[in-house]
Each structure stands twice: as C-alpha cells, then as structure tokens.
Structure 1
Amino acid sequence: MKKSICPPFPEKIPYTYSLHGEVRSDPYRWVHKKKSKAVRAYLEAENRYTDEMMKPSLDLQKRLFCEFLSRINENDESVPYQIEGFLYFSKTKKGKQYPILYRKRNAATRPKAILDLNVLSKGRSYASLGNIEIKPGSTHLAYSIDFTGFRDFELRLRSMSGKEEITLYHNRVRSFAWANDGRYLFVVLEDRAKRPFQVWRRDIETGKTSFIYEETDPLFSVSVARSRSGKYLFIHSSSSTTSEVLYVSGDDPLKGLRIFAKRRSCHEYYVEHGEAGFFVLTNKQAKNFRVMFVREEATQEKFWVDVISHQQDLVIDDIDVFKKHMVVEERFQGFSRLRVVDLKTLSSQEIPLPEHLCSVSGYHNEEYDCDEYLFEYESYVSPESVYAYHFDSRKTTLLKQDIVKKGYRQSQYATELIEVRLEDGSVVPVTIVYKRAMRGDHLSPMVLTAYGAYGIPNDPYFSSTRLSLLDRGVIFATAHVRGGGERGEVWHDQGKMLLKRHSFTDFIACAKHLIAAGYTGSDRLVIQGGSAGGLLVAAVTNMAPELFCGVLADVPFVDVVNTMLDETLPLTIGEFEEWGNPKLKPYYKYINSYSPYDNIVAQNYPAMLVQTSLNDSQVMYWEPVKYVARLRELKTDERPLLLNVNMDAGHGGASGRYDFLREMAFEYAFILGVLGLET
C-alpha cells in the first residue's frame, strides 16, 4: 500500500446535545444526510483515496480473483427438492451473476426455468431474492425481491409458464404464506422503521385485501408461515426474549385468529403441527429449551406435556415435524448435531456426522409425509454437502458435495479446538484451521474472527476463497465469545446488555492465549468482524490496539449510543433487549463505556480497512463513516486507515457472485498486504 498520500479529512460542524447531565459532541453528524451532495462528494473522496492506496495491490487482487474462480464450478446445479410432485432446483451458469430456479415433473423430464434473477436484475446494480412460496396447485409462485440493498422487498405473483406476472405489493413486504385453497395469501408488512408489524390477507382472485393482525408493541416483530402439514397458518410475534403464536385453519382462512398460548414476559415458544397435535419448542422452566406436546382441542400452557425434557448440557435450537418423525437440531458442547425422534415410540437416534467441528442444518424439506430428511453439512475442511437421512433404514446418503477444483485435498488441512480459560472460570472455545505443510513450529500469520451477539452461533463453515489465505500459511481462527449462541441462552445472556463487555474481554483473552501458545504474534495477527462482529473488533482495537497488526471491520455497528437513541431507525427499539436503552442512565453509562465511536483516543492504531454500504438498512452507512473520520482526527500513527463505501449495495455487500468474489479479493489483498504476504 502507498504511504505518502494525504487522506480526506471531513469538515467538522459543531453539533451537541445533553443526555443524563453530559454534553455530547457529534461534529460529523452532517454525514447523516444521505441525499446531500456534500455527503456524496465526501464518500467518493474516501473511495478515491482507498483505491489509490490499494493500487499497488491490483495485480494481487486479480490473482486472488482468478484463484477464487478456478476453485468453483461456475456451471452448477443444486440438489432437487419436492413440492406437490414437482422437483425444484437451481442452476448457476458461467458468466451469470445469479442462480436460476427450475422445476421438472420427475428425474426423466426436461426442466423448465421458472425464475431467472439474471433477467429480473437486468440494468440494475443490485438484486436480492427474498422468499419464494409455491401456490397450492403449483400453477403460480409468489416471490419477494429487493433492488435497493435496503431490504425493501416488493411482492410479485408469477405464473409457472412465465407469461403472467403481477406486483401485489410494491414495498415493505417481509414474509408471506398461502392458505390451502391457493386463493388467499397472508402477507406481513413493515412499518416505517422496517419492523414487520401487520398481517394482511389478500384475495388473489379479486385483489381485495383484509386486515388480519397488528402487533402494537414496538419491541415485537411478526412473521407468518404455513405448517408443513398444511393444516394451519401460524402468525408468530416475538421480541428477543418473549414470543406468542396465533393461528388459523389452512383450509378455512376466513375464520378468526386463535391465540395458542398468551404471551408472558421472557417466555419463548415456537409451534409445529403433527398428526396428533402440536409440538412446542419452549424455554418454559428450561433455559436450554425443551420440546412439549399438546392436543389441538386445548393449547394453553397448562395442557403441555414433556416430549424431550430440559438438559443442562444440551441446547435445542430447532425442530422439524413430519408425519411420523421429528428432527431436532441440538447443540452439545458448543457445536451442532441432529437427532431423529420416532413419534410413535419416542425413541431417538443421533444422525452420525463426519466431524464434531461442523455446521449442520436442514435443507429443503417441504413434504410432510416423507421417508427421508435432507440436511446440509460443512466444516472448515469439508465443502458444503447435502445428505439424505432415511428414516426407516437409518442410513445416510451423500447426495452432493460442492466440487472444489484445482486439486483441493481435505487431508492437507487440519482443524483444532482450543479452550481458553478465563479468570472468572469461563471457558471460551476457539476453532482454527490451517494447512498442515505450512504450520511448523514458527509463529504464523493469523486472521482471528468473532461475532458474539444476538445468541447467534458462529459455527465452522467451508470457504473455497479462504484457501487463498491457508495456502499462504495463514491460520484462520474463530473465537466463540460470550454473546453468541454456541452454548445456548446462558452464553448469550453473559454477553449482552450490562454484560456486553464480556464479548470484548473474551476476544482479547483469546488473542493473548493464541500469542502466548505460539500460534501467532501481535505483529502478524489481523482481526476481522462484520456488523455486530464489527462492533467487537472496533471495541477491542480501542481497548488493546497493541495486540493486532491489522483490522478488517465490515459494516461495523460502531456508533452505538447515537443509534440506540434514534427510535426511527430500523432495529433500534427491537434491540433494546440486546444492548439496552441509553435513555436509561445505567444503560447509557455502560454503552458509552464501549461504543467504539465514543472511545477513540490519541494512540497508535493497527492498519485498518473499514467497509460499509450506502443502502445498508441494518447498520447505517454513517456509523463507519463517522468512526473513520474521528479515527483520522485522533490516531497518532501513520498506518493505513481506509474506508471503502459500496455505493449500490446493502448490509451483505455485492449481490452478484462475481461481484462478491471481487470484493473478497479486495479484502484479502488488504489482509495479505498487512501481513507482508503480497507475493
């Protein structure tokens, strides 16, 4: 990277406000004005500076992109899944950015393309497909699509022939589900803060819409889904700590809604329908969740009975109910596995998996009466695969494993689980992957990542692009810090609200352990995190900048106080139960103690690449922009500080697969440059 270019320094315009007896200054607040010519000019200046600084890496970026491309099968086809006697699958074609959805009557018939995002996105810089729901009778499909990056989905109805298509809603659509007659479509709409809050029923034949339900509590969001059995439509209303389910007959959708069980504070429950009644996944007297059963006649809590009891060392993440079996996604010692329950005998069988350190979850299992369960499996070293588990024979069959071209051999790479014991007695797992031939006894360059929020687990996954790091001797590591969901709600609770700093101190402890154990050194340790993980890496960079030589912060949530004060923004109110409400003084004091934007000081910082998207609806672009501006103002070193703004995309970056690979090549070029591995 170049060193002698002068970066842009944005104008400081005084802006102050008082909160809890303190005067707060936010001199870069003017960049909130998205439509301002001055804001756009500044963002473009930052991009020009970043491009100029990264210009020496252009050849490396091209090499990396070619490496990425050489490993993937550009002409690929997914595993088919069945709905109403048709097989559905997607294809990717060389040179095309997006997959194409196909269907066919059976394996011997010729497939027909029914939805091509490449055609739909023509002339647009961004396109994201939301949900797809096949109309009962299989004559049409409803799908949602966003062309903005702001998750502003419109809803369209399309005939399977492709000759007819109408737009049902032009924006604000979140989820939707069909009644069994295929005439009525239940649709969830968002409010101005993008909270899904209303359910409407649309008559497809007449176009008439009828109001069904509104969630008035701003902490709660709504979704709608049809049970796999088809007998019921469920409306699920939930905050991050409490939930409630309402339901209506799938055969008689004009009937009124019924409440399954009245909401009560801190009770979460989720419902699946089976042959004899309802199966309920609940945290009722069960921090790690349990599965209960209730008959259809009376669904109140007092009638619920245990099917799978609560266990202290086992977390139940999800259930899938079929006519004769139930599949349980559970988590043991921090990592996921699958268990199949025979609903007649209640005997259970764990599905054997190749590795303990893995990611596993259900694939498309749309049919209620079926004899097999499809699931996806991957690990740091095993490419994404789809298996079929046969309920009767209890045998597992590999249906497809992604091809990694260019001579990939799994045996050349190794994974490890490292346990880091903290002063308070907690043990934080760290998973790592590396190329065996490159490891040796020396200190290795390392990329250390984490997420640690919302109770979301950060399970090991395969990445063919990551091989470009591993093959250059880089160790890839993930710290499974508190705040995530690896060990259930207890692990989550210990890293949120007034315990959020645990996520940061856990990460620092993991970094120190990896250095002390001889895996890496502070002069060759790059850290990476996105969104809430971007908050984490930005916070620890303020707290212990000497531990790291580089930081990659993707769409980082860094202006926590100001964002959580603005209830007009998407996510703010709903996330009071994750971060706290700074309008309350104890939460303000605590959040202000770690909010990265508010804790930048005059000290040396590592080399940093901060990335955002102009149309991000989850972390507003101005957060990382203001963060970089204040860093430029206060930091005392001359290491690179780069801001990269995608002017067209949203929270997930580029939507097309080739554009995504180019973004990854840019990121890896920065990482390798910081590590001195450009050649």
Structure 2
Amino acid sequence: MKLFSWFVIGMLMSTIPGCSDRGAPIAKKKPHELTIHGDTRIDNYYWLCERDNPKVLNYLKAENAYREKVMAHTKPFEEKLFQEMKSRIKEDDSSVPAREGEYWYYTRYEEGREYPIYCRKHGFLDAPEEILLDVNKLAEGHDFCQVRGFKTSPDHSIASYAVDYVGRRKYTLHFIDLQNGQHLPDEITEMTGNFVWANDNKTVFYTKQHPETLRWGKIVRHTLGGDDELVYFEEDKTFDASIGKTLDDAYLVIFSGSTLQTECRILNADFPEGEFVPFLKREPKHEYSIEHGGDRWFILTNDGAKNFKLMQTPDDNTGKEHWTTVVEHSADALLEDVTVFKNWVIVEGTEKALPFMCVINRRNNSRYDIDFGESAFAAFVGENREYDTDILRYAFESMKTPNSVFDFDLKTRKKELKKQQPVLGGFDPEHYETERVWAAARDGVKVPMSLLYKKGPQHNGENPV
C-alpha cells in the first residue's frame, strides 16, 4: 500500500512542469495582462483561476500530495493535538433557547455527530421538543455541508434554510411545511444564504451573487408557489447589497455598502408587492445604518461625526433636516451598533479599547452603561428576537471567563447567567485574575494591555510581563 501511495504521488507530480519527487510542484508561468484605471499589470498565475481546467486540477492535486508527503512525520502529533482539543469541547451541547412569539427556538449537538439540530418548544421550556431540521441527515453522502440562515415564517408554520454542499458559498434555499414535515416544491438555487420573510407568510426576499466574483448585488422577491422577480440591482461594482428586517417586523431594509459609503432602501413588510424607496440617498463618505422602533427610525451616522452619532427621525420624514440627536458624537468613543426595543435603545461601542453598552430608556430618556464586572473583556449583544421586552441577551468573554450568555433585566439592572461554555480538563476561572493596564510608549502614547495571571503574583516590579 505504501509503495502504491508513493507511486501515485510521483505520478501526480510528474504531470506538473518543474515538479519532481524531491521538490515542491512549481506552477507554470503564463503572463496575463490586467488593466484597470489605466494601469496594466501582469499576473503570471491567472490561469489557476480556471476551476474546470484539468491542468489546474492536476496542479492542485500535486500540491496536496506534496504536502501529505512532507508533513507525513507530523501525523501522530496532529492526531494528538486534535484529540486534546476535542477532549476540551463538550460535544453534546446546545444553545440558550430564544423566545419568538409562542415558541422557544434553539440548536443542539449530539455526541459523535458534527452538525447542529434545529429545534423548538411551544409555550414552555419543559414542553415536548420539536425537531425542525437535523443537519446531520442533510449531510449524509456529502463531503461538505453548511446550513445558513435557518428561520421560520412569521406565523411559525414554515421553516426555511439555505444549504451549501460544495463550499463555494452558493446556497440553495429550501422550505419545510412544519405541519407535516415535508419539503415544499419551491427551491431557489445559486443564492447567497441571505434572505428574509415578509409579513404575509408567503413572500421571501433573497440575495443573489455574481456567478464568478460572488459579489452580492441582486435582491429578488419570491412568492411560494409562484415566480421570482428582481426588485433591486446594485450597479456599482464597489458596493455589496444585502437584505434584512427590523426587529419590530415593520420594515424590510436593503443595505448597500462599500468601504466608505452606504445606502438603505426600505419597504413596509406588510406590503411585499410594493417598491423599495431610498431612506437617504448615498452621499460621498457618508456611512449610516438604520433601525426602526414604533413611530420612528434610529440612524447611526458618521455625518459630521467621525466616531458616529445616533439620530432619530419620524416614520414618514427620513430626510436629514428632520433628524434629531439621541447620542452626541464623542472624540473618545466609537459608536458601532444599535438595538431598538419597544421601550429601550441599546447602543454598542468602544471606549478606551473596551466595549460598552449604553442603555437608553425611550420613555424618559434616562441612560446608563452596563457594568460587566471585569476590567478586560469582550461583550456584544446576542440573540434578541422579541421587540416588546425588558430583557437584553448579551454574550460575554474574557481571558479567564469562557464564552457566556447573560439575560440582563433593563429595569432592575440585574443579570442572569443562562449558559457558560464548559471547558473540560480541570480549568477553573477562579484561579486566575484579569487586569487592564496602560503602558507608555517612547512617544508618550499610552497603549492598553490586558493581563491574565494566576492568583498570587504581586505588583512589586519582580514579575515582568
């Protein structure tokens, strides 16, 4: 068997010019001119992008064979590392259930199986489990399987998911009738995995990409049992387009963005046959994003605000002349995202190299920052599916605290730990300390440093970083 393997490797390598059994395969140079903005450059290896070219495939096989050969002696060590990492991961794991309407949705994993199982329970967490999609079954017979965007229709009667069996990020969108567990005949191929439901429970908007560059550029409307219709095409090749839905389920939003410029288009989610209209037309170097809540829009914008500011405007007047300030611009704090509930607004940002969450009471405009309890950490808003709620779910992690999920009561300011990622192998976070310190560089600029150390060392100058 070994002799045969080395023979195969040798044969593969011999098909590539410049390749021998003693050296790495060398790709042939084939000069190809590429001209853009009046500048021409030569790419000697452009031919390698020809995915179906037998010579390209043979070259890649030879590269893989060479890697297998030169790395053969590390196989036992690779297996040892894999088993050690695996031993520290809880295989039979599950996510924290998230409430949406009358259902609790969650995913779980089973020991010895690689893929998630999407489930829900009706009404209460002790109710019988309903398995909506077992990705392990989808993956049977495939070398690769990835599911993206699993979600149900607004009335929770139809499940939808996008699956890719190749790894090219070209997904096929499927629909399941949850009354009988059968797939609907609707099947949308060659899409990105980005899609949303309108409020009529039969219309879906999804994004299609360019077949070669994979740029997200087309937004298409699909009606179950009906035809597809292109509703938006992003003509500017420097922009990508995607579609989302506001947390209050009131609007569908097409987001177009490039490096330094964005634009949003909106449509009432109750009327999916309507036309998307610009919220604010794109402007040079203007980046903004929007979220809706009740009778108004909230806008995160860098218009005259390098670190962004938060504005608001009435439902029916989205022009900048109607915007009023919610959070002023700060030279010291970068505003990065906003979550809008019925009675609360959560502003996420970074200040002094640490994340913060500012809670704003929409009824009286009072505000406070959430205290995360450690001096060096990462935190972000988690899965929040309900608009009318006083509970914020967020994720937290530090160098001593494993990934954790908290439910935070916005009224009482009390948090409840819902889950902490188990770390097997005897790890105990109580044995360690984390600390944030600032070190002065030669030019006087202070640089943040996050420290992790076992409890015990004293800050006496004898314990250097």
TM-score when scaled to structure 2?
Answer: 0.86
After the TM superposition, which residues 418-567 of structure 1 pair with which residues of structure 2 at under 5 Å, given as runs? 429=448, 431=450
Distance 1:21 1:200, change over 3 A: closer
8 Å Cα contact 2:27-2:59 kept in structure 1: no
After the TM superposition, which residues 583-622 of structure 1 pair with which residues of structure 2 at under 5 Å, given as runs? none
SS in 2 for 1:364: coil
- Give the C-alpha shift of residue 72 in structure 1: 1.4
Counterpart in 1 of 2:172?
154
Q: What is the distance in 1 between the residues matched to 2:454 and 2:84?
A: 17
Match for residue 217 of structure 2 among 197, 202, 210? 197
Given the alignment of the two structures, is residue 97 of structure 1 paired with residue 114 of structure 2, yes or no?
yes
- Give the C-alpha shift of residue 147 in structure 1: 1.3
Residue identity matched to 1:68: M
Residue identity matched to 1:233: L
Gaps of at least 5 residues in structure 1 are 439-516, 520-679
Given the alignment of the two structures, is residue 234 of structure 1 paired with residue 250 of structure 2, yes or no?
no
Q: What is the distance in 1 between the residues matched to 2:437 and 2:52?
A: 48
Q: What is the distance in 2 between the residues matched to 1:165 and 1:437?
A: 62
Q: What is the distance in 2 between the residues matched to 1:268 and 1:22?
A: 29
> Residue by residue, what CA displacement relative to the aligned partner does 1:106-130 show, whole Å, maximum 9, x if unpaired?
2121111101111111111111122
Match for residue 134 of structure 1 among 131, 134, 152? 152
Distance 1:168 1:339, change over 3 A: same
8 Å Cα contact 2:344-2:359 kept in structure 1: yes
Counterpart in 1 of 2:316?
297
8 Å Cα contact 2:334-2:350 kept in structure 1: yes
Given the alignment of the two structures, is residue 244 of structure 1 paired with residue 260 of structure 2, yes or no?
no
- Give the C-alpha shift of residue 150 in structure 1: 1.3
SS in 1 for 2:182: coil
Counterpart in 1 of 2:132?
114
Residue identity matched to 1:67: E
8 Å Cα contact 1:76-1:93 kept in structure 2: yes
Q: What is the distance in 2 between the residues matched to 1:253 and 1:85?
A: 24
SS in 2 for 1:143: strand
Q: What is the distance in 2 between the residues matched to 1:318 and 1:82?
A: 22
Given the alignment of the two structures, is residue 170 of structure 1 paired with residue 192 of structure 2, yes or no?
no
- Give the C-alpha shift of residue 388 in structure 1: 0.3
- Give the C-alpha shift of residue 220 in structure 1: 1.5
SS in 1 for 2:238: coil
Which structure would you say has the larger RCO, counting Cα contacts within 8 Å and 6 or more residues apart? 1
CA RMSD of aligned residues (A): 2.7
Greater Cα offset, 376-385 or 16-25: 16-25
Match for residue 335 of structure 1 among 319, 337, 354? 354
Given the alignment of the two structures, is residue 8 of structure 1 paired with residue 27 of structure 2, yes or no?
no
Match for residue 407 of structure 1 among 418, 423, 426? 426
Task: Answer 1 or 2: which has greater strand percent.
Answer: 2
Given the alignment of the two structures, is residue 87 of structure 1 paired with residue 104 of structure 2, yes or no?
yes
Counterpart in 1 of 2:59?
42
8 Å Cα contact 2:34-2:43 kept in structure 1: no
Residue identity matched to 2:103: F
- Give the C-alpha shift of residue 55 in structure 1: 2.7
> Residue by residue, what CA displacement relative to the aligned partner does 1:538-586 show, whole Å, maximum 9, x if unpaired?
xxxxxxxxxxxxxxxxxxxxxxxxxxxxxxxxxxxxxxxxxxxxxxxxx
Distance 1:416 1:350, change over 3 A: closer
Q: What is the distance in 2 between the residues matched to 1:427 and 1:36?
A: 54
Q: What is the distance in 1 between the residues matched to 2:31 and 2:440?
A: 44
Q: What is the distance in 2 between the residues matched to 1:195 and 1:41?
A: 28
Task: Answer 1 or 2: which has greater helix percent.
Answer: 1
SS in 2 for 1:49: helix
Distance 1:25 1:197, change over 3 A: closer
- Give the C-alpha shift of residue 167 in structure 1: 4.2
Residue identity matched to 1:15: P
Q: What is the distance in 2 between the residues matched to 1:233 and 1:21?
A: 40
Residue identity matched to 1:336: P
8 Å Cα contact 2:374-2:434 kept in structure 1: no
Distance 1:391 1:264, change over 3 A: same
Given the alignment of the two structures, is residue 184 of structure 1 paired with residue 203 of structure 2, yes or no?
yes
Residue identity matched to 2:331: Q
Distance 1:283 1:8, change over 3 A: same
SS in 2 for 1:10: coil
Q: What is the distance in 2 between the residues matched to 1:77 and 1:306?
A: 41
8 Å Cα contact 1:228-1:367 kept in structure 2: yes
Q: What is the distance in 1 between the residues matched to 2:232 and 2:287?
A: 20
Q: What is the distance in 2 between the residues matched to 1:31 and 1:234?
A: 38
Give the fraction of aligned pairs with identical amino acids, expressed as a percent.
29
Q: What is the distance in 1 between the residues matched to 2:245 and 2:103?
A: 19
Gaps of at least 5 residues in structure 2 are 1-20, 458-462
Q: What is the distance in 1 between the residues matched to 2:40 and 2:155?
A: 62
Counterpart in 2 of 1:123?
141
Counterpart in 2 of 1:322?
341
Counterpart in 1 of 2:13?
none
Q: What is the distance in 1 between the residues matched to 2:271 and 2:416?
A: 39
Given the alignment of the two structures, is residue 348 of structure 1 paired with residue 364 of structure 2, yes or no?
no
> Residue by residue, what CA displacement relative to the aligned partner does 1:386-420 show, whole Å, maximum 9, x if unpaired?
10001221111111101111211224456565767
Residue identity matched to 2:105: Y
Q: Larger radius of gyration, structure 1 or 2?
A: 2
- Give the C-alpha shift of residue 310 in structure 1: 0.5
Residue identity matched to 1:33: E
SS in 1 for 2:345: strand
Matched length:
436
Distance 1:198 1:26, change over 3 A: closer
Q: What is the distance in 1 between the residues matched to 2:284 and 2:443?
A: 30
8 Å Cα contact 2:241-2:256 kept in structure 1: yes
Distance 1:60 1:270, change over 3 A: same
- Give the C-alpha shift of residue 300 in structure 1: 0.4
> Residue by residue, what CA displacement relative to the aligned partner does 1:422-444 show, whole Å, maximum 9, x if unpaired?
77776655656577899xxxxxx
Q: What is the distance in 1 between the residues matched to 2:445 and 2:74?
A: 42
Counterpart in 2 of 1:578?
none
Match for residue 227 of structure 2 among 184, 204, 208? 208
Distance 1:235 1:29, change over 3 A: closer
Q: What is the distance in 1 between the residues matched to 2:140 and 2:146?
A: 13
SS in 2 for 1:52: helix
Counterpart in 1 of 2:238?
219
Match for residue 91 of structure 2 among 70, 74, 87? 74
8 Å Cα contact 1:421-1:428 kept in structure 2: yes
Q: What is the distance in 2 between the residues matched to 1:353 and 1:200?
A: 42
Q: What is the distance in 2 between the residues matched to 1:196 and 1:17?
A: 26
8 Å Cα contact 1:127-1:148 kept in structure 2: yes
- Give the C-alpha shift of residue 275 in structure 1: 2.0
8 Å Cα contact 1:377-1:386 kept in structure 2: yes
SS in 1 for 2:389: coil
Q: What is the distance in 1 between the residues matched to 2:77 and 2:146?
A: 29
- Give the C-alpha shift of residue 340 in structure 1: 1.3
Greater Cα offset, 287-296 or 254-263: 254-263
Q: What is the distance in 1 between the residues matched to 2:38 and 2:330?
A: 47
Residue identity matched to 1:137: D
